Amino acid sequence: MFSSGFLRALAGAVFCFCLCGAASASDAYLDNRLLAASSRGDTRIVKDSLLKGANIDSRDRLGNTPLILASDGGYQEIVRLLIEEGAAVNAMNVYGYTPLLSAVTNSHRYIASLLFKAGADPEIPNKYGTTPSMYIKTLGFFTMNEYAGLSGPALSSLTDDRPERRGAAGGLHNPVWREKFNRLLSEGKAKEAADILVKTAETGNRQAMFLLGSLLIERNNISSGISWLKKAADGADADILYETGRLLAGGSVPYDRDFGMACLKRAMEGGRAEAGAEYARLLLYGGSYAEAYPIFVSAAESGSLEGEFYQGYMLFAGKGVKADEEKGLSLINKAASGGYGEAEAFLGRLGLEDMIKRVASSSVGDRAMIKGDILSLNAHLIKGREGCDTYGLEEAFGGAYGVRRAEICYPGDGTVKAFYYMAPSADRDGAAYLKNTAGNAEFVFP
């Protein structure tokens, strides 16, 4: 049995998922990063993107906001976080789906409860005339009063409250321990909630072991957290294996890469499609190109946007496969058209690099052509210094590299000088990389 000190520490972990006010500035790269993280349940990236200034109500190509994506996916902690930070609870995508309708159509009742209490309107229809309240009544799952009266949300963004979607990592409708855990959290009784969690984990319940391990890692009790996650993964289904593998092997400093990779591989073999893409991505970053490529191909053939992007990237860059830039770009464009944020960001970087190279190799006589080319890329002219063409690039390249403004100057001595003005959060290493291809251009930081 654990000591009271351990329970107090764990109780502190229960409420360590808070995010203080994010900056108001935003750029498209951060917005895309926030959207992608919200759609896959990555709380850490959601928090980091908001802290760096991402627009909390940014939109993807289908009009989805981060809150719509998280509500649809069942990521409760992200939904709670976005609501607390002021996300629009009645935003609609192009099909008229609000966060609440996305939640109820997927039986995410705790998320629906959060949204309802935050002011979500249950009578807003989608383009087909269906409202959240109509859907609830038609399916007969719950009454609106039950939605409004549900206790607090489950803690971890790594779990989903639709049992058939997340398997053993979900199941939040039924287990008695989880209902007690949620109720105690909603009442502010963190120590008692921690006690319930520990006692349940000690019985061998894999959901509880996984949640306990992830909380301990969040609290920086790495060794104990890894130990519980390994116990949870022993004999677990593909869903818990996937979440365990992603937690242990992902990130810039993996907690236990080898074990995490083994979990992802087992989850992939168990039919969890996302596990295959994650496993291949980590192989790619680890330099195992030949092993990663066929997994991405298989994922792409099954309709995975992530698979299409990474297969395209490997073809484009010639990593582990014969280079084919045309086919690679075709796949990357397909993934971007489907709204995959990393593909959109990649194309933005590629477009900006190409523009900078063309400006660097241009002459005074090319001024009109360069202006036309840049304006065709969604840039806009703004007032600048005399003898210079100044462009706002906020919408031109998806915020690539943090370049906000370009100033192309023609001082009258037959030369062309370029200045690129960077966002405060721009990566200086990225600017250094661009400078290698930009001739005598200057990159100006605030």
Domain at 70, CATH number: 1.25.40.20
CA distances from 230 to 248, 356, 367 (A): 10, 49, 62
- For the chain, what is the domain count? 3
Same structural domain, 328 and 406: no
Same structural domain, 80 and 167: yes
The pLDDT of residue 219 is 77
pLDDT tens digits for range 409-446? 999 888 999 999 998 877 788 888 888 877 778 999 98
Structural domain of 412: 366-444
The pLDDT of residue 259 is 95
Q: How far is it, in rounded angstroms, from Cα 259 to Cα 182?
A: 30
Same structural domain, 291 and 421: no
Phi and psi of 72, rounded to 5°? -65, -40
Listed residue (114, 63, 72, 118) closest to 91, CA to CA? 63
The pLDDT of residue 302 is 78
Same structural domain, 25 and 157: yes
The pLDDT of residue 263 is 94
The pLDDT of residue 19 is 29
Asked whether the whole model's pTM tops 0.85, one would answer no
The pLDDT of residue 159 is 35
In this structure, is residue 189 part of a structural domain? yes
The pLDDT of residue 432 is 85
Q: Which residues does the chain have with pLDDT short of 50? A: 1, 4, 15-26, 138-174
Same structural domain, 317 and 424: no
How would DSSP label each residue in 396-442? TSTTGGGEEEEEEE--SSS--EEEEEEPTT--HHHHHHHHTTSTT-E
Q: How far is it, in rounded angstroms, from Cα 398 to Cα 351?
A: 10
Same structural domain, 94 and 49: yes
What one-letter code names the amino acid at 170?
A: G
In this structure, is residue 360 part of a structural domain? no
Same structural domain, 136 and 17: yes
The pLDDT of residue 246 is 84
Same structural domain, 42 and 188: yes
Q: Are 34 and 46 in contact (CB under 8 A)?
A: yes
Same structural domain, 115 and 196: yes
pLDDT tens digits for range 269-321? 888 777 888 899 889 988 899 999 999 998 888 777 888 899 999 999 999 89
Same structural domain, 312 and 389: no
The pLDDT of residue 331 is 94
Same structural domain, 388 and 436: yes
